[in-house]
Structure 1
Amino acid sequence: MPEAPGDTPLALDLLRRLRRALGAAGLPELEAWDLLAAATGWPRKALYGRLTSPLPQEVLDRAEALLKRRLQGYPLQYLVGEAEFFGLPLRVEEGVLIPRPETEGLVELALGLPLPPAPRILDVGTGTGAIALALKQALPEATIYATEVDPKALALARENAEQLGLAVAFLPAPFTGGLKDLDLVVSNPPYLPEAYREMAPRELGYENPLALYAGPEGLSVARPLAEEARRSLKPGGYLLLELAPENVHLLARELREKGWAEVAVLPDLAGRDRYLRARRPTEEAEGEEGRLHRPHLP
């Protein structure tokens, strides 16, 4: 028997069902809005005005499939195909690192640096292009480069740049890609110690492990990156990294020992030490350092 019109589920009914299921599983109930948008194909901003709309069975089935995957630990961003970063909507795909709110702090620190009016900036290991695109949006006069070794991530970053209409030069290269005379090298490199694999949340298993883990201390990428960045930066140029609270002080100490200037460890919004800022010494300072370490000859 066909259902009476009054028995047809509404978008509001589905939203309530999704919220109950997510809440019971200990997940944020607000995610129900994202799942509803993904199931219906409606823009998230338009959902509130359509809550009394009846839904066909195929939408209900699609919502149930999305909910099932979410309850199994599949990342919400991959389910909806999008993540917001610094106010920018970025397309995301399984296997490419999802931009995190903590990395927005890295962008804020970059924007607070005393850079020249039209700086040359490099984002190393760009992933979805999040950092590079956020900086280009905020600094339209800047020349922004971004390197990435993963072809899938590089294609996704270029797609995001095209969709947003932001001009970033993406390079299929490791580290600095041989670029020189940069005012800022910024990066959210892989920084988790390998031991974290055994205790990592289930959701991390869907992301590229090469973008997450970096040797026993979590510094097997950040160390050589810093070495190469020093050669690529102008004298007085900045290095800005996101690291883990467990290893950021270790690398900061190593950079001080190697003569970097203005080395500082900075906290994230939760108060955890996460960001490392350092400056390549000016030519005068580097020359003085060389004189101090030069063997005394009779």
Structure 2
Amino acid sequence: MIRLLRELQGRLREAGLPEGEALDLLALAAGLPRKALLLRLAAPPAEGVAEKAFALLKKRLSGYPLQYLLGEVEFFGLPLKVAEGVLVPRPETEGLVELALALPLPPRPRILDVGTGTGAIALALKRHLPEAEVFATEIDPKALALAQENARRLELPVSFLLAPLTGGLSGLDLVVSNPPYLPEGYKEVAPPELRFENPLALYAGEEGLAVARPLAREAAKALKPGGFLLLELAPENVHTLARELQGQGWEAEVLRDLAGRDRYLRARRPPQEAVGQEGALRGPEVP
């Protein structure tokens, strides 16, 4: 199978795609885990494996995401099922989880992941903060069902809500989200992989802040005084929202991802006296 693997690698390289994906495609075609495939590379491919591998390659070269072909992606050490039309968790979002885990949260924090998609953020936080009460909202029923399936498989109890933004929750210590943040104009230059993901999870108006802005307004009511808002945004718009929140009395700062790009917004809700009486901000709490 070494010759077949090299041919797949060459085709991927010519297309500007990582040649390391060839091993994933070949393993999928052979019906074997990657490790098992590595032990059998010296053997000839079984009947039909080459045909399946080239069919998978053709689909991948069309721009179809590798994660959808595999049906699974690893996020913060968790194996998550993924499906076409639901946002694929990105490595940058793992940085958002790391920032959340570094916050000075209370011993039993109430956490909300807004726009949960596959459930990646909520499930990673529940795994590493088992004492936390974790909620997750989503407006896409397909994505919500996938997140619930991932939670069952991983045996991580998260309360999922089919609702927009904060879903009317209150008394929260942390609101975290990877909301849609790409400007609509980005569609003209977007890589082909994005065609297969839900545009509602990607694009957010002319500036890319059509979701993040109302989310911040709701977070001001949903968070306890001194609670945290943590967002992943685009380098082009994260400073804009940070300045707006600072003008509203929030403590807000922009943090960089591993590639050195301005990516994350970490903000702290103003103390009670800066935003009015707490009773006017709180809605019904979820037991």
Work out whether the TM-score is over 0.5: yes
Q: Among 105, 120, 145, which residue is 2:110 paired with? A: 120
Tell me the C-alpha RMSD between the 2 structures: 1.4
Q: Among 65, 81, 87, which residue is 1:97 paired with? A: 87
1:38 matches 2:28 = yes
Cα offsets for 1:215-269 (capped at 9, x unmatched) = 0111010000000011011111100001111111111111111121x21011111
Q: Secondary structure at the match of 2:64?
A: coil
Separation of aligned partners in 2, 1:160 and 1:33: 25
Cα offsets for 1:177-233 (capped at 9, x unmatched) = 111111000000000111111111111111111101000111010000000011011
Look up the match of 2:226: 236
Q: Among 210, 215, 218, which residue is 1:225 paired with? A: 215
Q: Among 182, 187, 190, which residue is 2:180 paired with? A: 190
Percent identity, please.
Answer: 73
Look up the match of 1:264: 253
Displacement over 6 Å in runs of 4+: none
Aligned pairs for 1:142-153 (under 5 A) are 142-153=132-143
Aligned pairs for 1:202-217 (under 5 A) are 202-217=192-207
For residue 265 of structure 1, what is the amino acid of its counterpart?
V
Separation of aligned partners in 2, 1:54 and 1:179: 58
Q: Secondary structure at the match of 2:225?
A: strand
Look up the match of 1:163: 153
For residue 57 of structure 1, what is the amino acid of its counterpart?
E
Look up the match of 1:70: 60
Question: What's the offset of the Cα at 1:125?
Answer: 0.1
Cα offsets for 1:259-291 (capped at 9, x unmatched) = 21x210111111111110111122244459xxx
Separation of aligned partners in 2, 1:89 and 1:32: 20
Q: Among 244, 269, 274, which residue is 2:263 paired with? A: 274
Question: Residues 287 and 229 from structure 1, CA distance in 2 versus in 1: closer, same or farther, beyond 3 angstroms?
Answer: closer
Q: Is the CA contact (8 Å cut-off) linking 2:177 and 2:231 kept in structure 1?
A: yes
Aligned pairs for 1:44-83 (under 5 A) are 44-83=34-73
For residue 19 of structure 1, what is the amino acid of its counterpart?
Q
Look up the match of 2:124: 134
For residue 267 of structure 2, what is the amino acid of its counterpart?
A
Larger radius of gyration: 1
Look up the match of 1:291: none
Q: Is the CA contact (8 Å cut-off) linking 2:30 and 2:46 kept in structure 1?
A: no
TM-score by length of 1: 0.90
Separation of aligned partners in 1, 2:157 and 2:242: 32
1:23 matches 2:13 = yes
Q: Is the CA contact (8 Å cut-off) linking 2:257 and 2:263 kept in structure 1?
A: yes
Asked which structure has the greater RCO (Cα within 8 Å, sep 6+), the reply is 2
Separation of aligned partners in 2, 1:45 and 1:135: 29
- Count of paired positions: 277
Separation of aligned partners in 2, 1:59 and 1:164: 31
For residue 134 of structure 2, what is the amino acid of its counterpart?
I
Q: Is the CA contact (8 Å cut-off) linking 2:256 and 2:262 kept in structure 1?
A: yes
Q: Secondary structure at the match of 2:48?
A: helix
Question: What's the offset of the Cα at 1:57?
Answer: 2.5
Cα offsets for 1:4-36 (capped at 9, x unmatched) = xxxxxxx33322221122122221111111111
